């Protein structure tokens, strides 16, 4: 099943790459493509949770008020970490070092990068909602674009940097 999924994703990437070949190196194109898949999943989960499942008024937990968009952000984030790492390692940064030990280090670095991404995403999301009175789902889309741009650079040059020969 995983082999079939790998082939399907690789086929999808190769099918559309000729359109973007003039403007993007394959690793950037692949990062954007698989990142778009994971980001769409993240935004979809956020929207479903926020719009249909969680109470709009938020929750009071041990005397603290927690906004529903905060809970939706966290659940969507933790749900898409495994898919994001797998897609990045296998399709966007496949020239990175391999091996069990390297993969463990990469996963740790990936968690650090996405952790800072979560913090940045939360601060931007909160700022757009509180200061610009933006609707939470739209604010999530804007914050995601900003965070993903920075995360690409961190993933390429920190998490999945090519090993020195």
Q: Give the model's pLDDT for residue 34.
A: 93
- From CA 157, how far away is CA 3, in angstroms rounded? 28
CA nearest neighbour of 76 among 51, 48, 36: 48
Q: Give the model's pLDDT for residue 164.
A: 57
Answer yes or no: are the C-beta atoms of 78 and 56 closer than 8 Å: no
User: What are the residue ranges in the chain where pLDDT is below 50?
Assistant: 165
Q: Which residues contact 88 (CB under 8 A, 6 or more apart)?
A: 31, 34, 35, 110, 155, 159, 160
Answer yes or no: are the C-beta atoms of 117 and 147 closer than 8 Å: yes
The pLDDT tens digits of the residues spanning 117-146 come to 989 988 999 999 999 999 988 998 999 888
């Amino acid at each position: 099943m995983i082999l079939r999924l790998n082939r399907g994703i690789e086929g999808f990437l190769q099918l559309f790459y000729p359109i973007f070949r003039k403007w993007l190196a394959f690793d950037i194109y692949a990062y954007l493509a698989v990142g778009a898949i994971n980001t769409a999943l993240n935004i979809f989960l956020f929207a479903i949770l926020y719009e249909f499942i969680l109470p709009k008024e938020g929750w009071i937990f041990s005397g603290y008020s927690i906004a529903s968009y905060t809970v939706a952000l966290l659940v969507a984030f933790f749900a898409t970490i495994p898919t994001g790492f797998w897609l990045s390692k296998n399709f966007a940064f496949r020239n990175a070092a391999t091996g069990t030990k390297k993969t463990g280090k990469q996963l740790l670095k990936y968690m650090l990068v996405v952790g800072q991404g979560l913090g940045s995403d939360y601060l931007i999301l909160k700022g757009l909602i509180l200061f610009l009175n933006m609707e939470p789902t739209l604010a999530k889309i804007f914050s995601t674009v900003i965070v993903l741009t920075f995360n690409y650079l961190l993933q390429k040059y920190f998490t999945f940097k090519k090993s020195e020969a």
